[in-house]
Structure 1
Amino acid sequence: MTHHVDVVVIGGGQAGLAAGYHLRRLGLDFVILDAQAEAGGAWQHAWGSLHLFSPAAYSSLPGRPMPVQVGETYPDARHVVAYLADYERRYDLPVRRPVRVKGVHRAGGDGKCLRVETDSGTWLARAVISATGTWWRPFLPAVPGRSGFHGRQLHTVEYRGPRDFAGRRVIVVGGGNSGAQIAADLAYDTELTWVTQRPPRFLPDDIDGRALFDVATARRRALDEGRTDSGGVASLGDIVAVPPVREARDAGLLKASPMFTHLTAHGVVWADGTSAEADAVIWCTGFRPTLSHLAPLQIRGRRGHIPTIGTRAVAEPRLHLLGYGDWTGPASATLIGVGRPARDAAREIAELL
């Protein structure tokens, strides 16, 4: 079956819902296609102790403040899932799930449509917003010996909690927020080794997502106006000291080791020849944008990057990319940050149509 709409939004997480909010306000006919079986985007797959970096009031999508979570300054992932599900219902957003998008194609003919092929039929749309995020494409570095390690290896996306590793020797790799939070989670009940490429840089304890959003926005404004690059969030540090991280750090349990050179069958080895045995290695090494569904358009540039102006793809003006990071809008991969680029994308699409 073929459906006709003004806009197809691919992805029903926070970016897709923000896009839906603004498309609805502009009166456009649209559908949100979500591969997940339930509402909540990637948040429903996060580990149990994961918390936001910002209080609820500073973690909201457009139009609907996130309610405070009782007993928590920084809401946890379950609270975010409930908020996103409520957001869908409140604005009656047309989400269809589970629908997996196989590919986006140029429709041919008059060239006014894009064809979105899915496992549940075809949609012809005059514009497409890709909002699939990065969670579904975890990055694993090519460290020598990784394939020969006999213990358990997992990425951030597979981590669920410390109970699985109690009493075990665990190496956590990664000096960002995920690495620090998971290391803090494991610091009390495992034999932990936390490994980072460079010494961990904790932001001041009074800095959270509110300040980071302001800094990211100010940097983007400076770049747009041709002023000197302030360095943005990266100039402040890498790790937000949310309470669990702060507590483990202050207890002396978050002491980082430098990155090892290779893995053996039973552990890791550093450049100076020292080694450590391990039962598990958890790779908190980041993600890449989930963009395989856009491959038929053949618009990727060097290293797979899709050049954009704002959120609009340079080589395909009917396509917008939303929520993948600063290259698709300042802080657009965050709850509070995605609203503005979502609004801009919706407005551009309305003008195009």
Structure 2
Amino acid sequence: MEIVQSVVIGAGQAGLSTSYHLKRLGIDHLVLDANDAPGGAWQHRWDALTMADVHGVAELPDAQPPARDSKRANESVPASFADYEHEHALPIIRPVHVDRVTDDGDLLVVHAGEREWHTRTLVNATGTWTQPFLPHYPGMETFVGEQLHTIDYPGPEHFRGKRVLVVGGGASAVQFLGVLAPITDTLWATRREPVWRDDEFDPEAGAAAVALVEQRVAQGLPPQSVVSVTGLMLRPQEREAERLGAYADRRPMFQRIEADGVRWADGSFEQVDVILWATGFRPAIGHLAPLHLRSDAGGIQLDRNGRGTTAVKDSRIQLVGYGPSASTIGANRAGRTAAKGVRRALETAMASVTTG
């Protein structure tokens, strides 16, 4: 039975950053990636999303990010990730779909179908893209039009000439309205009143936003995205939608869905052809369930008052791309922190064997 010092699950930005730092520390490890090719979640994003549209891709360690140009993000970022993997000879195995991780005493066992890997430590870097969140509303199964989630978004031309209801109060909803309002009829519904900001989002503001996410993780609560606490901003490419009133006529959530539209609590009805659910994602951590890492509050509590990456219930396990490290900048920093956490866990295990 071969035992590796660490297994990283996921080869997106957080996973690659972690692998880079593990290699620099001389820690024997493997990276298991569910995708057929490099690129993490970026390779699955819609064709119309360009590098000029994305919020920003933080550079990987010892690398520069792709140029902010008109090229497709689902091509530029995967290409840069592929180059990075090759340049640093990162030990990635793909495609590997991890089913579950179990505890075998001193070792953790990573299961993927009939394949198994035994490891002393684990870094979970699976992000959120594979876990789209779709809320349930009465009557949604009777709707005869299209219902699409962010993960299914085919690009703006698909919606031309259709009446589109965008549901959600985050950055994706703002972006969708920005490209759809100039070419078709749109409506916007959110659970809460949007919080807009017009001041500069500088590093100090970013740190304050991340701190709010850290507080939840420190308490073992399910994490909120960093974007959810930063507020919403309009970019230049969304000003035309603003001029057309796409953001001013926001409605509270409807009460139910009917065959050809939605019914609001006051009894009014709006006919729509498409419901576009920009309702976010949840952490992809179902495979960790056998380890019982969740707190009574429903989330996985991390060390250092939520600023670290080590699971409080099992110091052999690191989580990156979870909670405060779910942003592109946070994911890169978390890779370094996780690698150091792995080293600490290995040193602790070695000290225990020596004293025993």
What is the TM-score when the length of structure 2 is the normalising length?
A: 0.84
Q: Distance in 1 between matches of 2:227 and 2:153?
A: 26
Residue equivalent to 1:320: 318
Within-5 A mapping of 1:24-39: 24-39=23-38
Q: Percent identity?
A: 43
- d(CA) in 1 for partners of 2:31, 2:114: 13
Where 2:338 maps in the other structure, the secondary structure is: helix
The separation in 2 between residues aligned to 1:113 and 1:20, in whole angstroms, is 20
Q: Which amino acid aligns with 1:7?
A: S
Which residue of the partner structure matches residue 8 of structure 1?
7
Rate the CA distance shift 1:241–1:273 in 2: closer, same or farther, 3 A: same
Distance in 2 between the 1:312 and 1:350 partners?
11
Q: CA deviation at 1:164?
A: 1.7
Which segment drifts farther, 190-199 or 312-321?
190-199
Query: Are the equivalent residues in 2 in contact too, given 1:215–1:233 (CA < 8 A)?
Result: no
Is the Cα contact below 8 Å between 2:66 and 2:77 reproduced in 1?
no
Provide the alpha-carbon RMSD of the alignment: 2.6
Structure 1 SS opposite 2:280: coil
The alpha-carbon distance between structure 1 residues 119 and 24, as it changes in their structure 2 partners (threshold 3 A), is: same
- Displacement of 1:215: 3.6
- Measure, in 2, the Cα distance between the counterparts of 1:138 and 1:233: 16
User: Which of 87, 90, 97 is equivalent to 2:87?
Assistant: 90
Looking at structure 2, the residues matched to 22 and 189 of structure 1 have their Cα atoms a distance apart, in angstroms, of 46
Contact 2:15/2:31, CA 8 A, preserved across alignment: yes
The reply on whether 1:243 has 2:242 as its aligned counterpart is: no
Maintained 8 Å contact 2:48/2:156: no
Instruction: Return the alpha-carbon distance in structure 1 between the equivalents of residues 247 and 158 of structure 2.
Output: 20
| Aligned equivalents of 2:131, 2:176: Cα separation in 1 | 19
- For 1:287, what is the secondary structure of its paired residue? coil
Query: Residues 213 and 337 of structure 1 are in contact (CA less than 8 Å); yes or no, is this contact kept in structure 2?
Result: no
C-alpha distance in 2, partners of 1:137/1:17?
20
For 1:320, the aligned partner's letter is Q
What does 1:1-353 correspond to in 2, within 5 Å? 3-50=2-49, 51-54=53-56, 59-70=58-69, 76-107=73-104, 111-119=105-113, 121-204=115-198, 206-207=200-201, 213-216=206-209, 237=231, 239-255=232-248, 256-302=250-296, 304-309=298-303, 310-326=308-324, 332-353=325-346
Question: Which one-letter code corresponds to 1:27 in the other structure?
Answer: G
Gaps of 5+ in 2: 218-225, 347-356
Matched to 2:83, the amino acid is D
Q: Distance in 1 between matches of 2:214 and 2:171?
A: 25
Decide which moves more: 77-86 or 173-182.
77-86
SS at match of 1:295: helix
Distance change >3 Å, CA 83–CA 186, structure 1 → 2: same
What's the TM-score once normalised by structure 1's chain length? 0.85
Distance (Å, rounded) in 2 between the aligned partners of 1:221 and 1:313: 13
Task: Tell me how far apart the structure 2 counterparts of residues 99 and 233 of structure 1 sit (CA, whole Å).
Answer: 30
> Do the aligned partners of 1:101 and 1:293 also contact (CA within 8 Å) in 2?
yes
- Which range moved further: 136-145 or 125-134? 136-145
Whole-angstrom CA distance in 2 between matches of 1:260 and 1:95: 46
Q: Tell me if structure 1 keeps the 8 A contact 2:124–2:318.
A: yes
Q: May I ask how many residue pairs the two structures share in their alignment?
A: 330
Which residue does 1:329 correspond to in 2? none
CA deviation digits over 1:183-211, x for unaligned, max 9?
22211222211112233333327437x66
C-alpha contact (below 8 Å) 2:263/2:270 kept by paired residues: yes
Distance 1:178 1:233 in 2: 10
Distance apart, 1:311 and its partner CA: 1.3
Q: 8 Å contact 1:150–1:265 — kept in the other structure? A: yes
Superposed displacement of residue 263, structure 1: 0.8
Partners of 2:133 and 2:229 in 1: how far apart? 24
Q: Distance in 2 between matches of 1:4 and 1:260?
A: 54
- Alpha-carbon distance in structure 2 between the residues aligned to 1:115 and 1:221: 29
Deviation at 1:338, TM superposition (A): 1.6
Q: Is the 8 A contact 1:69 1:79 kept in 2?
A: no
